[in-house]
Amino acid sequence: MTSTTAELGNLRIALIGYSFMGSIHAQAWTTAPRFFDLGVVPVLAAVCGRDKEAARSFADKFGIGRVETDWRTLVNDPDIDAVDICVPGNLHAEIAIAALQAGKHVLCEKPLANTLAEAEKMTLAAEEAKAHGALAMVGFSYRRTPALAYAKELVRDGRLGSIRHIRASYLQDWIVDEDFPLVWRLEKDKAGSGALGDIGAHILDLAQYVTGHRLAGISALTETFVKTRRLAGASSGLQAQPAPGGNGGTKGGRATVTVDDAAVVIGRTAEGALATFEATRFATGRKNAIRLEVNGSLGSVAFDFEDLNELWFHDHTDPAESAGFRRILVTEPNHPYAGAWWPPGHGLGYDHAFVHQAADFARSIARGEQPEPSFAEGLQIQRLLDAAETSAANNAQWQDVTAGA
């Protein structure tokens, strides 16, 4: 922390971005100090967005007193202690590096960057900034789901024995409709990749987080099922117009989708486990189904985010006649994070993982400790994403992945 932050006991945060992620981050910062002892008091001091009126409306809802349209103003302001980056991936590297070089703590949404080269530069900047007391974290929020954090504890305590299989999937259906417009998440120059980086990054991270394994090599296939989409604000009867961001041309009022709609990845960990991953926005009927199953020599765990307060656990050392998966309701006071909230049986929701993330970040800053996951961990996921794209472009050719971070 800066000396000023330490003296005031406040962590003055500039939120960059006010859309979906900005909203849930703002809620998290507002809620975290009400349920957790953080060592500092998070204060949403400012929000930045290109549309000043929209940013002002957002600020009014969350009680934020300051609105800016240029993030550089906040990054260079000595009254700001931390920068929370909630904008598309093509902006992550420039903002994060500038903020770290200005001595600010940084929380950056995942994936860390749009390219491996950008992620490497961000990680180097974070390492250099850490020497001067500025800390950085990448926002893999699902790590803070109590059931997944408890699954990690079961693995750590040896309840699963030697890990042999990891199966993970992230299933959504929000762009199944072929008339859904071309939004920024479907443009490579803004999003970096499609389902692979947006939701695939989460399950790659969760698999490694829960098991403690690291993927040493992967093979991947990707597909774009709907090749073109109508431009935002256009209907099928409009004339063609220039594609935003130079995304590859237009055809009859439509523009080329330049990212993947779905990705399938197989892998092997350095510790010898086999792993499979599926990330798709075309699983009709699935809204936010994050699934993880880990099989070991002594037991297994299984999780589905659509029942996020439950973890299924099989203890293979039980007698065969009574063995089987059993449901654990992860709401007891001694379960990870759960004790800060409601009585047992009163479940948590999607937003709580972001509150836990904000709390962990603030506490790490208060203690002067590296928050997790670090930019180095975000870089390792970026290496996997890069290897997956390379593999898919070469007919699923196997890609070794260096340990790197």
pLDDT in tens, 255-268: 999 999 999 999 99
The string of pLDDT tens digits covering residues 109-151 is: 999 999 999 999 999 999 999 999 999 999 999 999 999 999 9
pLDDT in tens, 342-357: 999 999 999 999 999 9
Distance CA 15, CA 62 (A): 11
- Does residue 299 sit in the same domain as residue 173? yes
- Which of 109, 142, 175 terminates a domain? The answer is 142
Give the end of a domain, one of 142, 162, 188: 142
Residues 177 and 205 in one domain: yes
Question: Is residue 153 located within the same domain as residue 298?
Answer: yes
Domains identified in the chain, total number: 2
For residue 98, being part of any structural domain is answered with yes
pLDDT at 241 over 90: no
pLDDT (tens digit per residue) in 301-342: 999 999 999 999 999 999 999 999 999 999 999 999 999 999
Instruction: With respect to residue 371, please indicate whether it lies within any of the assigned structural domains.
Output: no
Residues 190 and 97 in one domain: no
Q: CA–CA separation, 273 vs 213, rounded Å?
A: 8
pLDDT single digits (tens) 104-116: 999 999 999 999 9
pLDDT at 238 over 70: no
Same domain, yes or no, for 136 and 153?
A: no
> Domain range for residue 172?
146-307+309-348+381-399
267 is a domain residue:
yes
Answer yes or no: do 46 and 163 share one domain: no
- Looking at the fold, whether 267 and 168 belong to one and the same domain comes out as yes
Domain end marker among 82, 116, 142 = 142
Express each pLDDT in 198-220 by its tens digit. 999 999 999 999 999 999 999 99
Same domain as 45, residue 161: no
Segment 24-46 mean pLDDT: 97
Is 4 a residue whose pLDDT tops 90? no
| Average pLDDT of every residue of the chain | 93
Specify if 204 maps to a domain.
yes
153 and 124, same domain (yes or no): no
pTM: 0.93
Shared domain check, 160 and 90: no
99 within some domain: yes
Output the domain CATH number for residue 303: 3.30.360.10
